[in-house]
Structure 1
Amino acid sequence: MKFRSFGLALLLTTASPALIPQIAPQAVAQQKQAITLEDIWSKPTFRARSVPGFNWMRDGRYYSALSEGNLVQSDVTTGKPVSTLVSAQDLRVVGSNEPLAVDGYSFNADEQKILFWTAEEPIYRRSSKANYFVFDRATKKLAPLSAGGKQSYATFSPDGKRVAFARDNNLFVVDLATMQEKAVTTDGVVNKIINGSADWVYEEEFSFAQGFFWSPDSRQVAFYTFDESQVPEYNMQEWGALYPKDYRYKYPKAGEKNSVVSVSVHDVAAGRTTKMDVGPEADQYIPRVLWTKTPNLLSIQRMNRLQNKLELLHADAATGKTQVVLTDTDPAYVDVADDLRYLNDGKQFIFSSEKDGYRHLYLYDMKGKLARQLTKGNWEIGAIEGLDEKNGQVYFTSTEASPLQRHLYRVSLKGKGKSRLGETGAGTDVVNISPDTRYYLNYHSAAGEPTTVSLRNGQDGKLVKVLEDNAALRQTLSQYNMGKVEFFDFKTSEGTTLNGWMIKPANFDPSKKYPVLMHVYGGPGSQTVLDNTGGGVALTNYLWHQMLAQNGYIVVSVDGRGTGARGAKFKKSTYANLGKLETIDQGEGAKYLGTLPYVDKSRIGIWGWSFGGYMTALAMTKEADLFKAGISVAPVTNWRYYDTVYTERFLKTPQENPGGYDDNSPVQFAEQLKGKYLLVHGTGDDNVHFQNSVAWTDALVKANKDYQTLYYPNRNHGISGGNTRLHLYRQMTDFILKNL
């Protein structure tokens, strides 16, 4: 798990249709309807529309998308189809009358060949395997990429002559002229050696699954090798058969051994593989590998195990020799970002760092000498979104307007002329810029408002066309009894200002006293207090809280210390002592709410998922006098049970910092539980293991404490599939109605 705001959003995905009992709301305005659980999860009542399947084509004027099995090209300025690139009838395998059921596709560089994939199988959060097919637009020939079993991450070489893919822990290259397949590696073994793919912890915490990369000249493939033979195995029972199946995989818990990671470069024509020199230390991380724009020069990022030192290495792909060109350090930890950009002239690169207290952009020459700082101020960049080298401009999102908002900005590579693009108002902008930066899609949302998707000019941000305004959804929402989202802040007893949002019942009466349900996530760098609603999972989250408000509850979220968008000092204040300050701040939030004349301070509850489940368990014990009820979903209850990369980044190793692991483990405070408590977990959670809830319930039993529990057989960290999500939220809703 990457504990962050993403975690909760993912976990509130719309489930499969099913019928569930309607929850009877308290008195509401007669002319408005009441939201039901069925509206949220079973019906398309609140379905948000977007611009589906949007993929920029290389000229920036057109985009492609699948439509009824056809691959269609559309004009970005009108949104109207202009041609059919590939007909569904052309996607029939020899011997079959049925076209492929396509799950996805990708073009080669000149867009004349296309990889289509079908029968995709997810593995973990980002990994999958599928059957890939190569389609030649000139000949209309469709051919399977390989007959040796499903492939992962099939990728064209830049010249379109070859495709590389991973399978069974090995890396392969196919020559498209002959369709001859060559194994680049042959030593891959499950739970021992992985080539060309990430191991579990890299996939989860460094956010990538594909572990190979074509060189710009198509002559070489750089790839990862993970030797995980010394990593301890974790096993889970898969229930259903007469004898449950034992599923085993490598999972490095905090303080245990990691994979030994190496990087190699394979020269395809010569058939020669050269190992890059990543240093003598085996107990380290290689979180990023990237080809520069200079021929034969590979970029490698290296981190020490404590993750407080990141080094940028440049490697000679022919010899494997490396040189450290840049070092970024921090007393706490260095976050890995994806803002490294090498310029086409081969002379400079852009890099982001928090070294001045906020994440900003810097320009360096290829030897690591600083040319200039491109952005500066008491705000943070979110990410680089585009690069216009012709005009010397870099596009990025940032929090300059407010930590609660994100907007698109542009600055010159000289560090001058910074400006915001697009007059979108308050709220949050998510952007998708064309490769040539001529246009960009802007997904704008504000609290309580569905997403508006617009096409905008990349040079001045002016509106070209509104592609989706969700007018139908806005009309639907207007017919329901919705409470307004109100943002607030308050100062704690320690003098820290915290941000929050609040949803009151639509028929709110300030003379009455209302129960409050607090929603918490709280992990390092995360945010739940954001000025957005969005569509899909974010909208579902919003609607469930609105439904609770219609049942007479005020719903609140407070971002405590350790959360993001307020600078490194605020975010890293929880370093080496996760859970302490975060729990204090949720307690401070409850105390503040208790001072409001319309809040019944004897009826404050709290709930959260993942890191939020951990926070809920601590709040219900260490701050037990403040909370009447709580729900923990898939919580960590002992950081010794969680993975190396995430946990040690924020706590060091348990050998170095045992107190940081034990002093804020809910297991240590079971005797302090007072309120009504519901614990939920999936037995097939490969991320936050069910072991956490087993240890926690054991502690509660030993402390003779009453609690309720729900376990979901074989369900992963998202606890979904079939009727699962509907069942879960019915149980949680009933628990809140009965106990708060």
Structure 2
Amino acid sequence: MSFPRQQARTRRFTIGVPRAFQISPDGRRMAFLRGRDGEDAATCLWIRDADSGHERVAADPRTVGTGDEDLPAEERARRERLRETGGGIVSYTVDAAFSRAAFTLSGRLYTVDLNAGGAPREVADAVAPVVDPAISPQGGAAAYVSGGALHVVGLDGGGDRVLAEPDGDDVTWGLAEFIAAEEMSRYRGLWWAPDGSALLAARVDDAPVDRWTISDPANPGAAAQTTAYPAAGTGDADVRLAVLSLDGDGAAEPRWIDWDRAALPYLARAGWTGGGGAAGSAEDSGAPEVVFTAQSRDQRTLVLMRADAGTGRVRRERTETDPAWVEIMPGVPAFTAGGETVWIGGGERDAHRVLLVGGREAGPADGCYLRSVADVDGDRVLYSASPAGSPGEVGLWLLDTRTGATARVDAPETAGGGSGGGVVAGRLRGGTLVLQRRDMDSYGVRTVVLTGVGVGADGGTVAAEESGGVDSYAQVPDLPRPDVRFWAAGERRIPAALVLPSWYDPDSHVRLPVLMDPYGGPHAQRVVRSRSAYSTSQWFADQGFAVLIADGRGTPGVGVEWERAVHGDLAAPVLEDQVAALHDAAARFGCLDLDRVAIRGWSFGGFLAALAVLRRPEVFHAAVAGAPVTDWHLYDTHYTERYLGTPQQRPDAYVRSSALEGWADPARPLMLIHGLADDNVVFAHTQRLSSALLAAGRPHSVLPLSGITHMASEETTAENLLLLQVEFLHRSLGAHRSEG
């Protein structure tokens, strides 16, 4: 099977990878999602015993439900925001005792007993379509959204109850709005109180948001989709929080959690202390409180707040400010067993971030780049960071808040611990750590279970016992081991990687055409110590290219100052760093033909690819731009305004960052690829650039993809896109060589 077909059929080799782990309070069992093989997109829910290693399928979508998947529109939108390409059971929730799970299939609610086993059963009283259900901590009920209304249904009878109904045509309860899910990584809009007596829920009013229309020209008889899209400088959704009690019958009277929403309109995180926190739990004896973070429209202020669930009274716990922007950090706020707040912040103006526990600085040590809080287990905090000077490596550290000791979690041999480096993630509960590792030793993900996890008596190592591994059923790319050279390029020491053809002989002195393959923008890295990250690059290399990848200014991993370098200009710094990395690679390796340089990318990378041939045609001779953001006026508020401000306040920043401005001669071959159903980077971006190129008499090609959203996951489309790109690049660079 060819690599393009294999990659398309396996959804980029993600099918069959164990994921979405949840661990029982005692650490003895865990649940996770995984297909039955590397091409089985019908994801199953599995249970594993930590002691014996025995695994069983708790729920298989092929034996549960009504057959072919039929998703509600709200669920399709939720999966698009999550970039979820799988099918079957793609998410689930468990109760506090880890005795029961709830999930949906085709908009219907199902529950399964995790203790006794047995077949899952449909909750007949639930009103379809059921969207984003959450099981109660006690396991007897589930909250969900249907038709914009917030419901609670008994899982053992007792009927269905509407807690809150929309009070307007544009109002929904219990779901994350577009901006929260797309840009803030907040995918939920409802949270159970720890004792199951109430729900905290978001009320979202989309009335202030402009309506855009997305149609499919290939199906003129189909109705156009109207979507609320908050473009830069326009209105955002109005989001409120309310506590809804389960006392009584029928709809609940909202107890509003009111804060200065005019100054802090963005709801970034929400949850409870006392067991149902936003990212952890507090087992103190005090009454549970609502906890949430809210951010200003200009994103220079982020405030952590607590509220009394009974009165709604709000108090501020911590305020972060920054003259550029305050990053919303993953995994916080969280809470230790003693009720102390775990937070990331404090050091941003000093060009670093710090881990704070109860307001005290607790790490990271030795200049590490702090990435997230992965979990809080009692008085232990598991956090993710990159060692100083190694942005492509991601490790885990364990902090014991009682002693202040911190130790790095070393992956055992079964997880590739002997190779060093790599990208490691994990979940920790009940002293059991599920550790997942990607490294340069193998393709895919390796998962190991460690029990009895804690900082050792010496205070410098992590004590743990290995309890076996969780197999990945994902296919391995039919490719040789990538030939990747890592280094820091140029004066700015740009993280860079060069991938050469597996058949290339360096002693031949044959110069190879160059294909730059960046993302290049905020919140994403391409130069990482994981073989899987280079499978597509290796395939392109074996088609005859030296593939160069560079993470310039604006990308994460290096430092806060590095990220802030794109403030006010998303074009010049990122493009300068691609050019600098290219010239450094040419001088360093000697096998790159700078007379034949192409660039490809998707989303921000597509923007960067188009920008490269339009502004620096003396360097770049051809480009493939997939789903490019060409005009930042058309992209969303939270992302765009973080870097550029509003177009009303800073129009010059939008001109500087536009692919529609600042072109140079000569014109170079440019292929634009875009899904017509894309509701994130809408097709208008490509249409506007194409119209401008046509008006200027510049030849280019446009490949519109009917029915395709932001990521082309449909099998035939995904396969042929790779083949068409290679053909275009060979043709374009070959023509350029003959002209030279």
Normalised TM-score (structure 1)? 0.83
Deviation at 1:239, TM superposition (A): 4.1
Q: 1:467 to 1:649 in 2, by over 3 A?
A: same
Q: 1:508 aligns with which of 505, 508, 525?
A: 505
Deviation at 1:203, TM superposition (A): 1.6
Q: 1:497 aligns with which of 482, 493, 498?
A: 493
Q: 1:726 aligns with which of 693, 711, 719?
A: 719
Distance 2:14 2:651 in 1: 47
Distance 2:194 2:242 in 1: 16
Task: Give the alignment of 1:26-425 within 5 angstroms.
Answer: 36-41=3-8, 50-51=17-18, 55-64=22-31, 73-81=47-55, 105-119=92-106, 130-135=107-112, 142-176=121-155, 178-187=157-166, 189=168, 192-270=170-248, 271-279=252-260, 281=262, 284-293=265-274, 294-343=286-335, 347-353=339-345, 354-355=347-348, 356-364=350-358, 370-389=359-378, 392-400=379-387, 402-413=390-401, 416-423=404-411, 424=417, 425=419
Distance 1:281 1:410 in 2: 39
Distance 2:489 2:62 in 1: 62
Distance 2:258 2:63 in 1: 47
Structure 1: tracts of 5 or more residues without a match = 1-18, 20-34, 94-99, 120-129, 365-369
Deviation at 1:43, TM superposition (A): 8.5
Task: Give the alignment of 1:574-593 within 5 angstroms.
Answer: 574-593=566-585
**1:79 is paired with a residue of what secondary structure?**
coil
Distance 2:484 2:471 in 1: 20
Q: CA deviation digits over 1:211-231, x for unaligned, max 9? A: 010111211111111111121
Structure 2: tracts of 5 or more residues without a match = 37-42, 67-86, 275-285, 412-416, 455-461, 734-740
Structure with more contact order per residue of length (Cα contacts < 8 Å, sep ≥ 6): 1
Distance 1:342 1:46 in 2: 33
Q: 1:189 to 1:298 in 2, by over 3 A?
A: same
**Amino acid of the structure 1 residue aligned with 2:269:** R
Given that 1:380 and 1:399 are in contact with CA atoms closer than 8 Å, whether structure 2 keeps it comes out as yes
Given that 1:219 and 1:267 are in contact with CA atoms closer than 8 Å, whether structure 2 keeps it comes out as yes
**1:431 is paired with a residue of what secondary structure?**
strand
Distance 2:127 2:475 in 1: 47
**Amino acid of the structure 1 residue aligned with 2:141:** R
**Amino acid of the structure 2 residue aligned with 1:705:** R
Deviation at 1:286, TM superposition (A): 1.2
**Amino acid of the structure 2 residue aligned with 1:79:** G
Q: 1:282 to 1:664 in 2, by over 3 A?
A: closer
**1:173 is paired with a residue of what secondary structure?**
strand
Q: CA deviation digits over 1:77-123, x for unaligned, max 9? A: 54324x78689999689xxxxxx98666443223443324222xxxx
Distance 1:461 1:440 in 2: 14
Distance 2:689 2:529 in 1: 35
Deviation at 1:626, TM superposition (A): 0.3
Q: 1:42 to 1:435 in 2, by over 3 A?
A: closer
Q: Match of 2:561?
A: 569
Distance 2:199 2:10 in 1: 47
Q: Match of 2:633?
A: 640
Q: Match of 1:3?
A: none
Given that 1:157 and 1:163 are in contact with CA atoms closer than 8 Å, whether structure 2 keeps it comes out as yes
Given that 1:50 and 1:453 are in contact with CA atoms closer than 8 Å, whether structure 2 keeps it comes out as no
Deviation at 1:617, TM superposition (A): 1.2
Distance 2:143 2:330 in 1: 23
Distance 1:680 1:472 in 2: 28
Distance 1:465 1:73 in 2: 15
Q: Match of 1:677?
A: 670
Q: 1:76 to 1:670 in 2, by over 3 A?
A: same
Distance 2:13 2:218 in 1: 35
Given that 1:719 and 1:725 are in contact with CA atoms closer than 8 Å, whether structure 2 keeps it comes out as yes
Q: Match of 2:427?
A: 433
**Amino acid of the structure 2 residue aligned with 1:335:** E
**1:585 is paired with a residue of what secondary structure?**
helix
Q: 1:314 to 1:147 in 2, by over 3 A?
A: closer
Q: CA deviation digits over 1:619-638, x for unaligned, max 9? A: 11221100111110000001
Q: CA deviation digits over 1:293-315, x for unaligned, max 9? A: 24241112111100010011111
Normalised TM-score (structure 2)? 0.83
Task: Give the alignment of 1:642-721 within 5 angstroms.
Answer: 642-670=635-663, 672=665, 674-721=667-714
Given that 1:312 and 1:327 are in contact with CA atoms closer than 8 Å, whether structure 2 keeps it comes out as yes
Distance 2:253 2:596 in 1: 68
Distance 1:199 1:700 in 2: 35
Deviation at 1:671, TM superposition (A): 5.4
**2:573 is paired with a residue of what secondary structure?**
helix
Deviation at 1:415, TM superposition (A): 7.2
Q: CA deviation digits over 1:436-495, x for unaligned, max 9? A: 133333323227654333333423365725536889978x86xx555511102222xxx4
Q: 1:146 to 1:43 in 2, by over 3 A?
A: closer
Task: Give the alignment of 1:602-641 within 5 angstroms.
Answer: 602-641=595-634
Q: 1:714 to 1:509 in 2, by over 3 A?
A: same
Distance 1:682 1:247 in 2: 14
**Amino acid of the structure 1 residue aligned with 2:516:** M
**1:522 is paired with a residue of what secondary structure?**
coil
Q: 1:426 to 1:675 in 2, by over 3 A?
A: farther
Q: 1:43 to 1:687 in 2, by over 3 A?
A: closer
Identity of matched residues, %: 23
Q: Match of 2:457?
A: none
Q: Which moved more, 1:515-524 or 1:282-291?
A: 282-291
**2:612 is paired with a residue of what secondary structure?**
helix
Q: 1:463 to 1:501 in 2, by over 3 A?
A: farther
**2:660 is paired with a residue of what secondary structure?**
helix
The alignment covers a number of residue pairs equal to 670
